[in-house]
Structure 1
Amino acid sequence: MRKLIILASGIALTASLSACGKSGMNRNRPDEFAVARQAPLVIPPDFALVPPQPGAPRPQDVKASDQALDALFGGSAARSAGESATLDAAGRSAADLGARSTAGSPTTPVVDKGGTTSEIIAAPAGNGREASAGTGAAAPQPTTPPAGTPQPQ
């Protein structure tokens, strides 16, 4: 009798587990992070405005990628008083706007600092979002000290 109960419960357990794939638990659901909600309706301050054209984009809609960038990095921050004072003391107003062109000119006498300096000068002006740095040179080889030099322990 005991063997029969164990056998029957094993069969019932196997039968109940075999039906799990058909229960609809693995159906395709929408990705809650990919669902974009529409911005709420805004009451215009001027009621003489013409209604929007059908199919035209809503002016209060903002792209999700723009919202993500603003959330991650924020907008461009205003310069603080200390930063402005430092730039003024450094001569921001007297800066030559063509300094890169002058420095990159072949007729300008310069000290050879290697290819990295030339790459920096040749880089296009920008806000620094695409900036990258690298030397491109091989790692320096360790040198052996001259004979008779005490070795660090």
Structure 2
Amino acid sequence: MRNSIRTAIIVAAALGATACGGLKLDRDRPDEFAVQRQAPLVIPPDFDLTPPDPGAPRPTEGTAAQQALEALFGGEAARSAIETSALRSAGDAEVGIRTMVGDPQTHTVDKGNATRTILVAPEGDGQAARVAVPS
């Protein structure tokens, strides 16, 4: 049993050595004394760039938020005429409007489930629409 395991290990090692190019000792090797030196790098005469500020983003990359928006949505898309007119008629939002809406002193009206029902209604052409008047 031990001899067969040893034989299998020796055969596997021999096959592994032949897969790596064999056990040739007279193969062609590069001459390490025939290496030539490369010419040093030269700075061009019109090299007038200033080094970037430490920690500043690269000018071609932008911020991480811009990169994420670009990756998710593919940049700014052209708006349709309807969207442009709706935005123009809506006007600009007040500064701090989100703070005012979230304030407990702001009086709001709870529309109940009606608004949620409208928002989650399936999209359709309206042929199957029904009206129900509560009594």
Q: Note whether the superposition's TM-score is higher than 0.5.
A: no
Work out which of the two has the higher radius of gyration on C-alpha atoms and give 1 or 2.
2
After TM superposition, the score normalised by the length of structure 1 is 0.29
After TM superposition, the score normalised by the length of structure 2 is 0.31
Higher relative contact order (CA 8 A, sep 6+): 1
